[in-house]
Chains A and B, each alone.
Chain A
Amino acid sequence: MRLLMNKVFLVLATTAAMIGLFFLAWILFTLCIKGVAGINLHVFTNDLVNGGLRNVIVGQLMLSGIATLFGIPLGMLAGVYLQEYGGNSKLTEFIRDLSDVMMSAPSIVVGTFVYAVVVIPTGHTSGWAGVLALFILMVPIIVRTTDDMLKLVPIELREAGMAIGASKYHVTMNIVIRYARAGILTGILLAFARVVGETAPLLYSSGSSQFWSTDLTSTFPSLTVSIYNLATMPDEEMVQLGWTGAFLLTAMVLFINIIGRYASNKTRR
């Protein structure tokens, strides 16, 4: 009887996995077929207004990159505080819980929040609003990774640092963070990969633009938002461009993820 139950579960679990994998493969397959067809130099050298994707790709990377640039110091400082200075105080627990909640907040909620506090008061969508939305999504991830990675640093290493006369500050900066460096870097990379593919938080914050722009104070070109817009257009060519964008985005996210995993595997050895 128990053997039978075992078999049934095994079959069910395998089937479920197969169904999941099947859809994943289907999505990737369609994406490749439709996406690759549209790839040519023209896509990379022209802006959206001329049927290319140059401005939106650069725009997307700028939005995520700037959000990361601001997110790293804040997130890491908070993570270091939690692990090295916070102890077991109520405040530490509160910040940990808060950042966990923030991490699972739906991204559309963050987008709407930014819309309410930035876009409505200023009267228009802007690059900075998009950066803010991605920043809010990203910081809790970096806090969490830093916190987790520092927790893995052996306590003996901290004691050994103190034992040669290093101050708490020096031990933290030169020994603890250095030990956890690769892990934290991987976490940041994965956090970047996570936000670079977001649409919902950008939809009402940065919006998207057809034209080349590096001016963050006005509506800003975004790849994800453009894919969303292109997909629903009546024009065949535009839809094709949407597929190409989706393919490029997927390839990019996949690539960053692979680098991240590779780096983290290397450190674990």
Chain B
Amino acid sequence: MSQPEYTKEKKVGEGTYAVVYLGTKQSTGRKIAVKEIKTSEFKDGLDMSAIREVKYLQEIQHENVIELVDIFLAYDNLNLVLEFLPSDLEKVIKDKSILFTPADIKSWMLMTLRGVHHCHRNFILHRDLKPNNLLISPDGQIKVADFGLARTFPSAQEILTSNVVTRWYRAPELLFGAKHYTSAVDIWSTGVIFAELMLRIPYLPGQTDVDQIEVTFRALGTPTDKDWPDVSFFPAYNKLQIYPPPSREELRRRFIAASENALNFMCGMLTMNPQKRWNAVQCLESDYFKEAPAPSDPSTIQIS
């Protein structure tokens, strides 16, 4: 075999179905990440998550979605060559030595929503948005990553699994076990991420799936048939404790630094009824992005 174009220099992470290495593209010297799919473990051939990742990343080229540089096969293993992204939003949120401003948060939200919007207009649901999957490039750009759970927009008849999205970022329709849902699940996750950025702690940290329902509705109110027709038909509904939605005053107190527009923006994304929840375009057009402060220039935001 000739000199490989991509080298793997050091292991930087391991997920459920892949090991990630830091490497170099030999011809250009560019730093890259190589995601090596653990093929041997799957008796059904190529793993579904790997197929999804390949399928969707191959389709999307956008400044705010991780770039798939190349794909190669070596020693019976599938390797995805990705742009190298040294940080992610989870790290930044957790690193208490990093200070960030409302303008920084706005910039991150703008970039995230642009990436999400691009997925949606390509008929792709991400289904696993969380700070850990929003990677950050050296120049501060947010990159939506990890398409292992993604899928195309379903047709009306298709039955979907509600067992998607990491628990804390799971939309109410998923908590109810809905068999049909839409891109609105990604918007909910984005809303929870926004809240987490403002609070700097997870906003809805359920301990278990059952607890997640409790935590979500205690914070945001239990949905009723009035604002979400037929929500009470979900089998899980009748066991619920009915909480009133938070008053504006309560929200203001919880999110001290948030402007009225910022609260509207958050509430738009965290609307219980998925049909009334804002879509990506509505989010991008919200007054929150138009009012001061302007979003920070990504390259100026401190990320480490």
Genuine A/B complex? no
Residues of B within 8 A of A (CB): none
